[in-house]
Protein backbone atom coordinates (compact mmCIF):
# COMPACT_ATOMS: atom_id res chain seq x y z
CA UNK A 1 0.00 0.00 0.00
CA UNK A 2 1.29 3.44 -0.97
CA UNK A 3 2.17 5.57 2.04
CA UNK A 4 2.92 9.25 2.52
CA UNK A 5 6.25 9.57 4.32
CA UNK A 6 7.87 12.77 5.59
CA UNK A 7 11.62 12.62 6.21
CA UNK A 8 13.43 15.51 7.87
CA UNK A 9 17.04 16.15 6.93
CA UNK A 10 16.61 14.40 3.60
CA UNK A 11 18.99 16.38 1.37
CA UNK A 12 21.95 14.05 1.88
CA UNK A 13 23.21 11.01 3.75
CA UNK A 14 20.85 8.69 5.51
CA UNK A 15 17.78 10.83 4.87
CA UNK A 16 18.31 11.13 1.12
CA UNK A 17 19.18 7.45 0.69
CA UNK A 18 16.06 6.45 2.60
CA UNK A 19 13.93 8.82 0.53
CA UNK A 20 15.22 7.42 -2.77
CA UNK A 21 14.57 3.84 -1.74
CA UNK A 22 11.07 4.55 -0.42
CA UNK A 23 10.19 6.48 -3.58
CA UNK A 24 11.41 3.57 -5.68
CA UNK A 25 9.02 1.31 -3.73
CA UNK A 26 6.10 3.51 -4.79
CA UNK A 27 5.60 5.65 -1.69
CA UNK A 28 4.97 9.39 -1.72
CA UNK A 29 8.01 10.98 -0.14
CA UNK A 30 8.04 14.49 1.37
CA UNK A 31 11.53 15.94 1.61
CA UNK A 32 12.88 18.52 4.03
CA UNK A 33 16.09 20.53 4.13
CA UNK A 34 17.63 23.78 5.36
CA UNK A 35 19.60 24.58 2.20
CA UNK A 36 17.61 25.57 -0.88
CA UNK A 37 20.18 24.37 -3.40
CA UNK A 38 20.63 20.99 -1.71
CA UNK A 39 16.86 20.62 -1.36
CA UNK A 40 16.37 21.27 -5.05
CA UNK A 41 19.06 18.72 -5.89
CA UNK A 42 17.45 16.17 -3.55
CA UNK A 43 14.14 16.57 -5.36
CA UNK A 44 15.90 15.86 -8.66
CA UNK A 45 17.66 12.80 -7.21
CA UNK A 46 14.51 11.31 -5.68
CA UNK A 47 12.48 12.08 -8.81
CA UNK A 48 14.73 9.70 -10.74
CA UNK A 49 13.22 6.85 -8.72
CA UNK A 50 9.52 7.67 -9.09
CA UNK A 51 6.98 9.02 -11.54
CA UNK A 52 5.14 10.76 -8.68
CA UNK A 53 5.73 14.46 -7.92
CA UNK A 54 8.22 14.91 -5.07
CA UNK A 55 7.31 17.58 -2.52
CA UNK A 56 9.88 19.52 -0.57
CA UNK A 57 9.80 21.79 2.48
CA UNK A 58 12.40 24.30 3.57
CA UNK A 59 12.97 24.93 7.28
CA UNK A 60 15.91 25.65 9.55
CA UNK A 61 15.17 23.37 12.50
CA UNK A 62 17.40 25.44 14.78
CA UNK A 63 14.71 28.15 14.55
CA UNK A 64 11.60 27.07 16.35
CA UNK A 65 9.41 29.53 14.46
CA UNK A 66 10.45 27.82 11.24
CA UNK A 67 9.66 24.40 12.73
CA UNK A 68 6.12 25.53 13.41
CA UNK A 69 5.80 27.07 9.93
CA UNK A 70 7.10 23.81 8.45
CA UNK A 71 4.45 21.80 10.31
CA UNK A 72 1.72 24.21 9.22
CA UNK A 73 2.81 23.93 5.59
CA UNK A 74 2.52 20.14 5.73
CA UNK A 75 -0.90 20.40 7.40
CA UNK A 76 -2.12 22.76 4.67
CA UNK A 77 -1.22 20.30 1.91
CA UNK A 78 -2.08 16.97 3.51
CA UNK A 79 -5.14 15.61 5.26
CA UNK A 80 -3.05 12.74 6.51
CA UNK A 81 0.45 11.29 6.58
CA UNK A 82 1.46 7.74 7.39
CA UNK A 83 5.05 8.02 8.57
CA UNK A 84 7.26 10.76 9.98
CA UNK A 85 10.97 10.01 10.14
CA UNK A 86 12.67 12.57 12.38
CA UNK A 87 16.08 12.09 10.81
CA UNK A 88 17.56 15.61 10.92
CA UNK A 89 20.28 16.01 13.50
CA UNK A 90 23.39 17.99 14.32
CA UNK A 91 26.57 17.28 16.24
CA UNK A 92 28.90 20.17 15.41
CA UNK A 93 28.09 23.71 14.34
CA UNK A 94 30.12 26.93 13.96
CA UNK A 95 27.45 28.60 16.09
CA UNK A 96 26.34 26.48 19.04
CA UNK A 97 23.72 28.85 20.49
CA UNK A 98 20.52 29.59 18.56
CA UNK A 99 18.70 32.91 18.29
CA UNK A 100 16.46 31.65 21.11
CA UNK A 101 19.49 31.32 23.39
CA UNK A 102 19.48 27.51 23.40
CA UNK A 103 22.08 24.92 22.51
CA UNK A 104 21.65 24.01 18.86
CA UNK A 105 21.96 20.26 19.56
CA UNK A 106 19.01 20.29 21.94
CA UNK A 107 16.95 22.45 19.57
CA UNK A 108 17.54 20.43 16.40
CA UNK A 109 17.82 16.95 17.93
CA UNK A 110 15.22 17.17 20.71
CA UNK A 111 12.87 20.15 20.58
CA UNK A 112 12.30 20.48 16.82
CA UNK A 113 11.19 16.86 16.34
CA UNK A 114 9.00 17.13 19.44
CA UNK A 115 7.24 20.25 18.13
CA UNK A 116 6.90 18.80 14.64
CA UNK A 117 5.51 15.50 15.92
CA UNK A 118 3.02 17.15 18.26
CA UNK A 119 1.81 19.53 15.56
CA UNK A 120 1.35 16.72 13.04
CA UNK A 121 -0.35 14.23 15.38
CA UNK A 122 -3.86 15.00 14.03
CA UNK A 123 -2.71 13.87 10.58
CA UNK A 124 -1.86 10.34 11.69
CA UNK A 125 -4.15 7.34 11.74
CA UNK A 126 -3.71 4.87 14.59
CA UNK A 127 -1.62 2.77 12.20
CA UNK A 128 0.78 5.68 11.57
CA UNK A 129 4.38 5.74 12.75
CA UNK A 130 6.87 8.26 14.04
CA UNK A 131 10.48 7.09 13.81
CA UNK A 132 12.89 9.15 15.90
CA UNK A 133 16.59 8.79 15.20
CA UNK A 134 18.27 8.23 18.51
CA UNK A 135 21.86 7.11 19.01
CA UNK A 136 24.06 4.67 20.86
CA UNK A 137 25.54 7.84 22.36
CA UNK A 138 23.21 8.75 25.24
CA UNK A 139 24.24 10.69 28.35
CA UNK A 140 22.40 12.07 31.41
CA UNK A 141 20.69 15.34 30.51
CA UNK A 142 22.09 18.51 32.04
CA UNK A 143 18.92 20.54 32.54
CA UNK A 144 20.88 23.79 32.74
CA UNK A 145 22.24 23.20 29.23
CA UNK A 146 18.87 22.08 27.90
CA UNK A 147 17.21 25.20 29.29
CA UNK A 148 19.96 27.51 28.01
CA UNK A 149 21.19 28.56 31.43
CA UNK A 150 24.69 27.14 30.88
CA UNK A 151 26.72 26.86 27.68
CA UNK A 152 28.26 23.49 26.87
CA UNK A 153 31.80 23.24 25.51
CA UNK A 154 31.60 19.55 24.61
CA UNK A 155 29.90 18.83 21.27
CA UNK A 156 29.69 15.06 21.59
CA UNK A 157 28.51 15.13 25.20
CA UNK A 158 25.72 17.59 24.40
CA UNK A 159 24.76 15.58 21.32
CA UNK A 160 24.51 12.45 23.49
CA UNK A 161 22.35 14.32 26.01
CA UNK A 162 20.05 15.57 23.26
CA UNK A 163 19.59 12.02 21.95
CA UNK A 164 18.70 10.72 25.42
CA UNK A 165 16.17 13.54 25.78
CA UNK A 166 14.71 12.55 22.39
CA UNK A 167 14.47 8.93 23.52
CA UNK A 168 12.79 10.03 26.75
CA UNK A 169 10.07 12.04 25.04
CA UNK A 170 9.50 9.25 22.54
CA UNK A 171 8.65 6.90 25.41
CA UNK A 172 6.51 9.45 27.24
CA UNK A 173 4.51 10.53 24.19
CA UNK A 174 3.95 6.92 23.15
CA UNK A 175 2.65 6.12 26.64
CA UNK A 176 0.32 9.11 26.66
CA UNK A 177 -1.17 8.22 23.27
CA UNK A 178 -1.70 4.55 24.18
CA UNK A 179 -3.72 3.09 21.30
CA UNK A 180 -5.08 6.43 20.10
CA UNK A 181 -2.19 7.67 18.04
CA UNK A 182 0.74 6.66 15.88
CA UNK A 183 3.39 4.20 16.96
CA UNK A 184 6.41 6.16 18.23
CA UNK A 185 9.76 4.41 18.16
CA UNK A 186 13.29 5.61 18.93
CA UNK A 187 15.91 3.94 16.74
CA UNK A 188 19.69 3.93 16.84
CA UNK A 189 20.32 3.38 13.11
CA UNK A 190 23.88 2.20 13.69
CA UNK A 191 27.17 3.53 14.96
CA UNK A 192 29.76 5.14 12.70
CA UNK A 193 27.62 5.04 9.56
CA UNK A 194 29.07 6.63 6.45
CA UNK A 195 27.28 9.95 6.97
CA UNK A 196 28.48 13.56 6.91
CA UNK A 197 27.75 13.94 10.64
CA UNK A 198 29.90 10.96 11.59
CA UNK A 199 32.73 12.09 9.36
CA UNK A 200 32.59 15.63 10.82
CA UNK A 201 32.39 14.37 14.39
CA UNK A 202 34.84 11.49 14.30
CA UNK A 203 36.83 11.92 11.09
CA UNK A 204 35.87 8.39 10.13
CA UNK A 205 32.95 6.19 9.16
CA UNK A 206 33.25 2.40 9.28
CA UNK A 207 29.82 1.21 8.22
CA UNK A 208 27.92 1.50 4.96
CA UNK A 209 25.03 3.93 5.02
CA UNK A 210 22.72 1.14 3.79
CA UNK A 211 22.84 -0.38 7.29
CA UNK A 212 20.98 2.66 8.59
CA UNK A 213 18.66 2.94 5.61
CA UNK A 214 17.60 -0.68 5.96
CA UNK A 215 16.50 -0.29 9.57
CA UNK A 216 14.66 2.98 8.95
CA UNK A 217 12.63 1.37 6.17
CA UNK A 218 11.91 -1.65 8.38
CA UNK A 219 10.85 0.60 11.25
CA UNK A 220 8.61 2.64 8.95
CA UNK A 221 6.90 -0.21 7.14
CA UNK A 222 7.41 -3.69 8.57
CA UNK A 223 4.97 -5.55 10.80
CA UNK A 224 7.64 -6.22 13.44
CA UNK A 225 7.46 -2.55 14.49
CA UNK A 226 3.67 -2.21 14.35
CA UNK A 227 3.23 -2.82 18.08
CA UNK A 228 6.54 -1.39 19.28
CA UNK A 229 5.35 2.03 20.41
CA UNK A 230 7.55 3.45 23.15
CA UNK A 231 10.35 0.99 22.51
CA UNK A 232 13.99 1.61 21.63
CA UNK A 233 15.64 -0.34 18.81
CA UNK A 234 19.42 -0.60 18.78
CA UNK A 235 20.63 -1.48 15.30
CA UNK A 236 24.14 -2.17 16.58
CA UNK A 237 22.80 -5.22 18.40
CA UNK A 238 19.91 -5.74 15.98
CA UNK A 239 17.19 -5.83 18.61
CA UNK A 240 14.81 -3.94 20.84
CA UNK A 241 16.64 -3.20 24.06
CA UNK A 242 16.76 -0.78 26.96
CA UNK A 243 17.99 2.76 26.31
CA UNK A 244 20.14 4.62 28.84
CA UNK A 245 18.93 3.90 32.37
CA UNK A 246 17.86 7.52 32.87
CA UNK A 247 15.14 6.99 30.25
CA UNK A 248 13.70 4.29 32.51
CA UNK A 249 13.85 6.51 35.59
CA UNK A 250 10.43 8.13 36.05
CA UNK A 251 11.71 11.02 38.18
CA UNK A 252 14.55 11.97 35.83
CA UNK A 253 12.32 11.61 32.80
CA UNK A 254 9.67 13.82 34.38
CA UNK A 255 12.20 16.61 34.99
CA UNK A 256 13.40 16.47 31.39
CA UNK A 257 9.83 16.46 30.10
CA UNK A 258 8.93 19.44 32.27
CA UNK A 259 11.88 21.34 30.81
CA UNK A 260 10.91 20.41 27.24
CA UNK A 261 7.27 21.37 27.75
CA UNK A 262 8.26 24.64 29.40
CA UNK A 263 10.54 25.58 26.52
CA UNK A 264 7.96 24.65 23.91
CA UNK A 265 5.23 26.54 25.77
CA UNK A 266 7.47 29.61 26.04
CA UNK A 267 8.16 29.46 22.32
CA UNK A 268 4.52 29.08 21.39
CA UNK A 269 3.53 32.04 23.57
CA UNK A 270 6.33 34.18 22.17
CA UNK A 271 5.28 33.26 18.65
Average pLDDT, the chain: 92
The pLDDT value recorded for residue 179 is 81
pLDDT in tens, 229-270: 999 999 999 999 999 999 999 999 999 999 999 999 987 665
Distance CA 91, CA 38 (A): 19
Domain 4-270 class, CATH top level:
alpha beta
Helices 155-177, 250-270: crossing angle, 10 deg rounding? 90
Closest C-alpha to 125, from 57, 79, 175: 79
Query: Where is average pLDDT lowest: 9-18, 87-96, 183-192?
Result: 183-192
Distance CA 107, CA 101 (A): 10
**How many CB atoms lie under 10 A from the CB of residue 191?**
18
**For the CA atoms of the chain, what is the radius of gyration?**
17
The pLDDT value recorded for residue 205 is 46
In the predicted model, what is the mean pLDDT of residues 57-74?
Answer: 96
pLDDT in tens, 135-182: 999 999 999 999 999 999 899 999 999 999 999 999 999 999 988 889
Instruction: Give the global pTM.
Output: 0.94
pLDDT in tens, 90-134: 998 999 999 999 999 999 999 999 999 999 999 999 999 999 999
Q: List the domain boundaries for the chain.
A: 4-270
The pLDDT value recorded for residue 195 is 52
Assign 196 a pLDDT band (cuts: 50, 70, 90): low
Amino acid sequence: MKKTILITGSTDGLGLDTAKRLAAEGHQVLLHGRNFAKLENAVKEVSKHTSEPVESYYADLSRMDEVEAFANAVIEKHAGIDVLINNAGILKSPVSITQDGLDIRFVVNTLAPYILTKKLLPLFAVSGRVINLSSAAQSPVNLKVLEGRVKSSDDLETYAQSKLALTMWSRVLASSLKNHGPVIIAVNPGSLLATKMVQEGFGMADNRIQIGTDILIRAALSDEFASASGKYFDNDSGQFTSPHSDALDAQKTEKVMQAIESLVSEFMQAD
